């Protein structure tokens, strides 16, 4: 949206928004996976979860993965209702890990290995850029250029002799848009196929020109 206004300062002003976007091949994969167990009592559910979780962690480390952290550990009572009556079904234990990979070719292997060794939660996968600042600067320059082009286009349509001079540029912060693929575990394949796609990094500015 463009606005042209006059104020107490000499000359007239044109205020425009500019947007820029850069598509980047991601170099970092973030997986959230884990183990969910149930049992009639907490101790049983916890013990089973601990055993399976430890096995999953060991095989992931054998793949050379060091960046693993716990992001959720949750114990819940399982309650069911039948004919208005409350029935206790025991307890569930959920242990969720976040795994960071800088080798995107390992994503499918990590998923299959974790599942084979007892993981039964694959909550999410996202592909990101480890250092987005460089690409954000590119997007920011494109946003300023976009606002400049708008100014030239508007001045041409209004038949104004106008060499846009920016007197104020306001950055509107945005966050990178990670690519989160959908996938399905498949039996009989060497590795679950995962495509990293692209990550979009955007920038937006508000530019004030005088004419």
Which domains are assigned to the chain? 3-26+131-182+195-210 (3.30.110.170), 28-128 (3.30.70.2970)
pLDDT digits (tens, 9 = 90+) for 154-207: 888 877 777 778 889 999 876 666 555 545 444 444 567 777 778 888 999 999
Token pair recorded at residue 115 = 């599942």
Token pair recorded at residue 118 = 């007892």
What local confidence, expressed as pLDDT, does residue 130 receive? Answer: 84
Backbone dihedral angles phi then psi of residue 98, each to the nearest 5 degrees: -110, 125
Could you tell me which residues come within 8 angstroms of residue 134 by beta carbon, excluding any fewer than 6 positions away? none
Read off the pTM: 0.70
């Amino acid at each position: 949206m463009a606005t042209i206004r006059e104020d107490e300062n000499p000359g007239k002003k044109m205020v425009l928004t500019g947007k820029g976007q850069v598509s980047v091949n991601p170099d970092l994969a973030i997986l959230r996976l884990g183990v969910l167990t149930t049992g009639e009592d907490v101790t049983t559910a916890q013990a089973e979860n601990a055993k399976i979780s430890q096995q999953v962690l060991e095989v992931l480390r054998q793949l050379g993965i060091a960046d693993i952290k716990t992001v959720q550990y949750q114990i819940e009572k399982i309650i069911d209702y039948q004919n208005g009556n409350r029935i206790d079904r025991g307890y569930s234990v959920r242990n969720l890990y976040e795994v960071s990979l800088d080798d995107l070719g390992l994503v499918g292997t990590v998923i299959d290995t974790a599942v084979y060794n007892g993981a039964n939660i694959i909550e999410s996968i996202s592909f990101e850029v480890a250092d987005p600042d460089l690409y954000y600067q590119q997007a920011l320059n494109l946003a300023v250029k976009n606002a400049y082009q708008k100014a030239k286009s508007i001045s041409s349509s209004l038949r104004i002799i106008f060499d846009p001079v920016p007197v104020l540029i306001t950055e509107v912060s945005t966050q990178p848009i990670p690519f989160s693929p959908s996938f399905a575990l498949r039996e009989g394949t060497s590795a679950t196929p995962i495509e990293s796609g692209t990550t979009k990094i955007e920038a937006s500015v508000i530019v004030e020109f005088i004419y």
